[in-house]
Structure 1
Amino acid sequence: MDASETRPLPGSAGHEGTDPGPAIGLLLLRLVVGGLFIASGTEKFFGWAGTPGREGFADSLAGFGFTQPGLLATITAVVEIVAGLLLIIGLLSALAAVPLLGISVAGVVFRFEEGLFLTDTGGFAFELLLAAATAALVFSGPGRFALDNGRPYFKFPLRSAIVFLALGGIITAVVLFLFR
């Protein structure tokens, strides 16, 4: 075993170091990413800020070939809100980040033809940034300032990340099988 599998990473829930910098960085990342996904999920439900809301998101999903787009739109919104809240409070953080990573990667895939940068026709740079941020949370763990702090299954974030990403892959395959 290499050192990353036997010792907790700096800033992770099981790290005993005294430097709060990594933990503060992870807290900030959780707050921003969680807040953005809560905003995205509530926007999908209510259509605030001039967006089309649930019906508009369902229409987009239908355009990408998904069956039962209304149900999938509702599930996506609920997942974004609940997982975003879990990230903010630091409870089951790495596990909560996995479906958000899946949603972000789907955003990159479905917007890929628009190009990387935001233009009049779209772009996937924001979705790519969210994918990287959620992946960072999956691999790093929540940090010291989280309700997960001290829980045994988060003392070694790399091991948890592998298990959670495998679970996320299975769930993604099931969603694609059932809804596309």
Structure 2
Amino acid sequence: MKDLSQLVLRGTAGTLLAGHGGQKLFGWFGGPGPEGTRGMMETLNLKPAERWAFVGGASEFGGGVLTALGLFHPVGPLGIIGAMAMAARKVHWNKPIWATEGGAELPLTNMAIALALMLSGPDRYSLDRLFGIRLPGWVGPVGLVVALAIVAKAVQESEREIQEEGE
């Protein structure tokens, strides 16, 4: 049952995040596409905006696809965690927690799901198990530190940019 429950979580969260990234990268499902995403990154003072638009979309899309398939575990969940940490901090911060108020409810939920999947490892129904793929154990913890450090550095730079513009 544990493997089946992981499949449900991976399939649901991964597919939805891949779709969300597809909105940014390709304009799928009524999304903004690369130009609209670049504009959003500019309003968030993430520079260069074009690079951050690609990184955000690729983290969501790639992380979602890898998570849904259970491939190259834990790279997929790490992509989701990085993208959702950035979204929580740059888009939803300083708002009430609930999504109806613009808060971080959904990014935090996605991060919790991705972290739980990361910690539990690939399940019986993953492509990793099917093909015998096993990444080294250090990839998860090191990847998590690196992803969160990148988010922290980007947030720091964008906030410095905002302060300099205000002076």
Q: Distance in 2 between matches of 1:96 and 1:142?
A: 11
| Equivalence for 2:142 | 163
Change (3 A) 1:118 1:152: closer
Q: Which runs of 5+ in 1 are unaligned?
A: 1-20
Q: CA RMSD in A?
A: 2.6
Q: 67, 91, 95: which one pairs with 1:114?
A: 95
Tell whether the 8 Å contact from 2:82 to 2:151 is kept in structure 1 after alignment. yes
Q: Distance in 1 between matches of 2:26 and 2:73?
A: 26
Deviation at 1:117, TM superposition (A): 1.2
| Equivalence for 1:74 | 54
| Equivalence for 1:43 | 23
Q: Distance in 1 between matches of 2:60 and 2:149?
A: 18
Change (3 A) 1:71 1:168: closer
Change (3 A) 1:58 1:172: same
Change (3 A) 1:24 1:124: same
| Equivalence for 2:84 | 104
Q: Distance in 2 between matches of 1:47 and 1:152?
A: 34
Tell whether the 8 Å contact from 2:85 to 2:151 is kept in structure 1 after alignment. no
SS in 1 for 2:127: coil
| Alignment: residue pair count | 155
Question: For residues 1-180 of structure 1, what are the structure 2 equivalents within 5 Å?
Answer: 21-110=1-90, 111-119=92-100, 122-149=102-129, 151-153=133-135, 161-172=140-151, 176=154, 180=158
Q: Residue by residue, what CA displacement relative to the aligned partner does 1:50-73 show, whole Å, maximum 9, x if unpaired? A: 443322222221122111112211
Higher helix share: 2
Q: Which runs of 5+ in 2 are unaligned?
A: 159-167
TM-score in terms of structure 2 length = 0.77
Deviation at 1:26, TM superposition (A): 0.9
TM-score in terms of structure 1 length = 0.73
Tell whether the 8 Å contact from 2:3 to 2:124 is kept in structure 1 after alignment. yes
Tell whether the 8 Å contact from 1:27 to 1:142 is kept in structure 2 after alignment. no
Q: Which has the higher mean CA deviation after the structures are superposed, 89-98 or 164-173?
A: 164-173
Change (3 A) 1:91 1:63: same
SS in 2 for 1:93: coil
